């Protein structure tokens, strides 16, 4: 079954933290099945109230997004205590995924690449022990130079511990092909971030240059997918943009 979710980022930090019930009401009213949210917006010591809030809107929380400088083993070690709390929270609220974003650094060394892979394996094991899946989320720098960084991460991490959340908008912006990337990394992709772009502006899905009809042809062979709309910035209200993207996807999916 294909489910459609949305990242809450367009609503902004204040609404995510202070008016999350209103955000979830808007998401539910559009028709989305669930949502992904950044851990920085949540009180991870209180999984019960959050779980009840999500249920009250008839939604699923599919992922709690985190990030860090995984090329630096000291940073990973310092972050582990907090990550342990977030992973436990993610499991307790019933989210199946933890998307993880790295940090850019020019001229990473081979040693730093290996530190990234080792760090992801450590975090992936922690997630696995709690019954959730770690999904590395790409930006532009993992896509440059023929997907060099993303390929390295896939080749040097345990596929049982580290999956991908492939962000097709960043693939497009980095000069890659979302179709090619989907085909190349499909076996490691746990779910997709569907993001559209036109030059330097983030667009509603279907309003930019990403070829979503062909992309969906590539990925529809698998029956169980979360497709997550993410729009970093919008000139419209977040709810309006979310509705436009949702309606486009439902039309493409024929439902």
State the pLDDT at residue 223: 73
User: Which strand (E) or helix (H) includes residue 160?
Assistant: none
Find out whether 66 and 37 touch, Cβ atoms under 8 Å.
no
State the pLDDT at residue 237: 98
Sign, CA dihedral 115-128-81-19, equals positive
Q: Estimate the share of the chain in helix, then strand, then coil, as percent rounded to the nearest 5.
A: 50, 20, 30
State the pLDDT at residue 221: 74
Instruction: Report how many helices (DSSP H) and strands (DSSP E) the chain contains, helices first.
Output: 10, 10
* Model confidence, pTM: 0.97
Q: Which residues contact 79 (CB under 8 A, 6 or more apart)?
A: 68
Nearest to 64 by CA among 158, 127, 142, 2: 127
Nearest to 133 by CA among 96, 167, 159, 100: 96
pLDDT in tens, the chain (255 residues): 899 999 999 999 999 999 999 999 999 999 999 999 999 999 999 999 999 999 999 999 999 999 999 999 998 888 888 999 999 999 999 999 999 999 999 999 999 999 999 999 999 999 999 999 999 999 999 999 999 999 999 999 999 999 999 999 999 999 999 999 999 999 999 999 999 999 899 999 999 999 999 999 998 877 789 999 999 999 999 999 999 999 999 999 987
3-state secondary structure of 245: helix
Find out whether 72 and 115 touch, Cβ atoms under 8 Å.
yes
In the block, tokens 């020019």 appear at 106
State the pLDDT at residue 42: 98
Domains in the chain: ranges and CATH: 2-253 (3.20.20.150)
């Amino acid at each position: 079954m294909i489910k459609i979710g949305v990242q809450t980022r367009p609503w902004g930090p204040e609404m995510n933290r202070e008016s999350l019930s209103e955000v979830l009401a808007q998401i539910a009213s559009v028709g989305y099945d669930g949502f992904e949210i950044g851990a920085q917006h949540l009180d991870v010591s209180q999984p019960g109230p959050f779980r009840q809030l999500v249920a009250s809107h008839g939604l699923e929380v599919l992922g709690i997004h985190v990030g860090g400088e995984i090329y630096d083993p000291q940073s990973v070690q310092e972050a582990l205590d907090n990550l342990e709390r977030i992973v436990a929270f993610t499991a307790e609220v019933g989210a199946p995924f933890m998307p993880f974003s790295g940090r850019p650094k020019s001229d990473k060394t081979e040693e730093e690449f290996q530190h990234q892979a080792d760090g992801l394996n450590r975090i992936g094991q922690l997630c696995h022990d709690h019954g959730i899946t770690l999904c590395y989320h790409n930006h532009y720098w993992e896509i440059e130079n023929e997907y060099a960084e993303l390929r390295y991460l896939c080749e040097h991490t345990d596929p049982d511990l580290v999956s991908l959340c492939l962000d097709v908008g960043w693939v497009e912006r980095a000069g890659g092909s979302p179709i090619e990337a989907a085909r190349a990394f499909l076996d490691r992709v746990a779910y997709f971030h569907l993001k559209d772009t036109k030059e330097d502006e983030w667009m509603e899905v279907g309003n930019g240059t990403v070829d979503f009809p062909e992309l969906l042809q590539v990925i529809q062979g698998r029956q169980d997918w979360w497709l997550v709309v993410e729009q970093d910035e919008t000139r419209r209200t977040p709810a309006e943009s979310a509705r436009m993207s949702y309606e486009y996807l439902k039309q493409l999916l024929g439902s």
